[in-house]
Amino acid sequence: MKVHHGGRFTNMPNRKYISGKVQFVDIVDSELFDVEVINNIVKMLKYDPKQIMYYQFKLPRKSLDWGLRALASDDDIVNMIKYVGKHKVIEVFIEHNETTVDSYNMPTFKGGVEIRELIGDDEIVDLDAQEDKGKILPSCRNLLYV
């Protein structure tokens, strides 16, 4: 992991992490990796563990404008770990005291999208159950994403 700490993010567009430092940390066992490991890294970097901090990682090959994801829960950690096998370095960013990035307000995406077509006021057809689900239906103007 490439840990960016002690700095802050600029505003979008062309967001940057400025006035910070970088520390490389090698975490070998991804099955034991959790938010507490990040807390321990922060302690190792000599920050007060009582200070409010926000952890985020950057999706590989994405910009800081659109690629930041929160690291606040086990689901967030699982989301980050899925990139470790294909990418040598995962970048983690630490914000101190407050966050300027909205990734903490974004829901963790856990699955696909189920698409249903609204036929009438009360009738819903599950397109995933249709044999011809790959075809474009003529009445696709009323799609409901659930």
Which CATH number covers residue 46?
3.10.20
110 part of a folded domain: no
Question: d(Cα 124, Cα 142) in Å, to the nearest integer?
Answer: 11
Alpha-helical regions (H) of the chain:
35-44, 74-81
Q: Are residues 73 and 126 in the same domain?
A: no
- Report the chain (146 residues): mean pLDDT per 10 consecutive residues: 94 93 82 84 89 92 93 88 87 90 56 49 51 45 42
8-state DSSP, 60? T
Q: Are residues 49 and 14 in the same domain?
A: yes
Question: d(Cα 104, Cα 90) in Å, to the nearest integer?
Answer: 19
Q: Are residues 101 and 125 in the same domain?
A: no
